[in-house]
Each structure stands twice: as structure tokens, then as C-alpha cells.
Amino acid sequence: MRQTTGTRKSPGGSIVKDIKRSTRKHYSSEEKIRIVLDGLRGEDSIAELCRR
């Protein structure tokens, strides 16, 4: 079992996290409502909604 004596973070890890955060898609409130309503209708599966 490995024990850590602190919370050391690699500099590469924080760079990757920053890139993921900045390239993440931002949805408007209207788009979020549309997605939820599409899911509640049940015409498409949740997996299909996620792929879109």
C-alpha cells in the first residue's frame, strides 16, 4: 500500500486540467432546457442525446 505524505501535483496535470476547462463546451440555459425536454419526451435514448 502506497502512502503519500502530502498533496503533490505534477505541473503537467494542472496544464491538462486548464486545457480541458478552457475547451469545454458551454451550454446556454435555453439549450439545457431543450436537452432536458428532449430526454423527458423519451423519443431518443439518453445515450443518443449525449452523442448529439
- What is the DSSP secondary-structure string of the chain? ----SS----HHHHHHHHHHHHHS----HHHHHHHHHHHHHTSS-HHHHHH-
Q: How confident is the model over 4-47, as pLDDT tens digits? A: 555 566 677 888 888 888 887 888 999 989 988 988 998 888 88
* pLDDT reported for residue 29: 93
| Global model pTM greater than 0.85 | no
- Burial of residue 35 (CB within 10 Å: 0-12, 13-18, 19+) is middle
**Contact present, 35 and 49 (Cβ < 8 Å):** yes
